[in-house]
Chains A and B, each alone.
Chain A
Amino acid sequence: MIGKQAEGASRDFAAAAADTASVGLSLFPLGISFGILVVHTGLDWWWAPVFTAVVYAGSLEFLLLGLVATVTPLGQIAVTALLVNLRHVFYALSFPLSRVRPPGRVYATFALTDEAYALTAGGRARSWSGARILWMQLFCQGYWVGGATVGALAGSLIPFTLHGLDFALTALFVVLTIDAWRAQRDLPAPLLAAAGFAVAALLVPGQVLPAAMALFTVGVLARYALRRRALAPAFGDRDGHDHPVPTPAASAAPALSARER
């Protein structure tokens, strides 16, 4: 019994290592550049592991370095954290938290980063156990904290900054966009997102990320409303809430594509 459990645990561990390989390739070098920046900001090297382990929100941490360097009031830091990470409220829609047992959920929600969300998005994590999800998140944070620590230690030795490593994050999100596209192959969704981003960049250049995501959500909801109105007479159902569906992740895709045809 114990042997079998250990076997399952090591399988989850190995699977999570494979799941996160591509994310690690972008998080580790990005962590290195963050660590170098920590030292160049004038902080002690060990603030790099503290920032990355405790805050654990990459884009906010880069911003935070500039804020603490000028001793920005804490209230303003709180507002910045709120606006930069507002996008995370959307991740609750499909992250398979119910798969994780209650004590682990504390960490699963804490470590619900863009990358952790992306790795489970598009139904890829449908068959993953709770342990595999937690290992995946621990691996992701390990790459980030590890990279930052290495960067901070190296940064206190070398006097120059590395350029171009930050493209790893762009490449990662491009790859994840292509993967998510392959799961659905539905053109209006990325078009709505691109349009939302363009409008947000023009109207609220200071808050592009939450504004673009809000506009995109509104666009998807509007499209849903239009489709419902178009389909309602043919199907004769007015209330989509009453369809018996066992689990959203498993049933949503086929149900929707069947409706689409």
Chain B
Amino acid sequence: MPSPLYLAAAVAVSAAVTWGLRALPFAVVTPLRRSAVLQYLAVQMPVGIMLILALYTLRDVRPTDWPAVVPTALALAAAIGLHLRTRNAVISVLGATTLHVVLSTFWPH
């Protein structure tokens, strides 16, 4: 069982590294804001970064283990379908997550 002092130190180290990664790049980037290449990056990157994060959350899904994949695949289709149709993020996230919770609870695997 980790001691409270060790836990506090682990939290402090994690917080310091994370904050540094979020804050320090601004010192480098701000003077370069007018650069054309950075503007190109700022426009092009959001869609790709979001896609990479979405793929990353699915990293533990093994495509070959198809019975276990079914709830995730159906919930994914629901998220995409709902969002293309309604354009309402609340409906899309809530609908797809509800479907996933129901399927992964009741789907036999």
| Chain A residues with CB below 8 A from B45, complex form | 90, 93-94, 189, 216-217, 220
Chain A nearest Cβ from B95, distance in angstroms: 8
| Chain B residues with CB below 8 A from A87, complex form | 49
| Cβ contact within 8 Å between A170 and B46 | no
| Cβ contact within 8 Å between A168 and B93 | yes
| Chain A residues with CB below 8 A from B23, complex form | 109-110, 112
| Cβ contact within 8 Å between B17 and A81 | yes
| Cβ contact within 8 Å between A163 and B105 | yes
Question: In B35-81, which residues have CB < 8 Å from any A CB?
Answer: 35-59, 71-72, 75-76, 79-80
The contact size tier of chain A is 35 or more
| Cβ contact within 8 Å between A252 and B42 | yes
| Chain A residues with CB below 8 A from B48, complex form | 189-190, 192-193, 196, 216, 220
* Chain B residues touching A, majority SS: helix
| Chain B residues with CB below 8 A from A172, complex form | 89, 93
Q: Select one of B26, B51, B72 contacting A177, CB under 8 A.
A: B51
Cα distance, A209 to B61, chains bound together (Å): 16
| Cβ contact within 8 Å between A220 and B40 | yes
| Chain B residues with CB below 8 A from A14, complex form | none
| CB < 8 Å A-B pair total | 270
Chain B nearest Cβ from A214, distance in angstroms: 11
| Chain B residues with CB below 8 A from A190, complex form | 47-48, 51
Chain B nearest Cβ from A149, distance in angstroms: 16
The contact size tier of chain B is 35 or more
| Chain B residues with CB below 8 A from A91, complex form | 22, 25
Q: Select one of A81, A173, A186 contacting B44, CB under 8 A.
A: A186
Is A97 engaged at the interface, CB distance under 8 Å to the other chain? yes
| Chain A residues with CB below 8 A from B14, complex form | 55, 57, 60-61, 64, 77-78, 81
Is A89 engaged at the interface, CB distance under 8 Å to the other chain? yes
| Chain A residues with CB below 8 A from B53, complex form | 114, 173, 209
Cα distance, A149 to B87, chains bound together (Å): 31
Cα distance, A74 to B100, chains bound together (Å): 36
Chain A nearest Cβ from B83, distance in angstroms: 5
| Cβ contact within 8 Å between B49 and A224 | no
| Cβ contact within 8 Å between A245 and B34 | yes
| Cβ contact within 8 Å between A177 and B54 | yes
Chain B 6-28 per-residue mask, 1 if CB under 8 angstroms from chain A, else 0: 11011111110111011111101
In the complex, the 8 A-B pairs of residues with the closest C-beta atoms, listed nearest first: A240-B36, A193-B48, A22-B89, A92-B25, A173-B54, A121-B46, A94-B42, A109-B23
Q: A64-B11, A92-B22 are in contact. List 16 more A-B contacts (CB 8 A).
A: A25-B89, A25-B93, A90-B25, A90-B49, A97-B26, A122-B46, A122-B47, A164-B71, A164-B97, A167-B101, A174-B83, A177-B51, A194-B51, A217-B45, A248-B38, A252-B43
Q: List 30 A-B contacts (CB under 8 A).
A: A21-B89, A55-B11, A55-B18, A60-B14, A88-B21, A90-B49, A94-B45, A97-B26, A109-B19, A110-B22, A163-B101, A164-B101, A168-B97, A170-B75, A171-B97, A173-B50, A175-B79, A175-B83, A184-B43, A186-B47, A190-B47, A193-B47, A193-B51, A196-B48, A212-B55, A216-B45, A217-B41, A223-B44, A252-B42, A256-B40
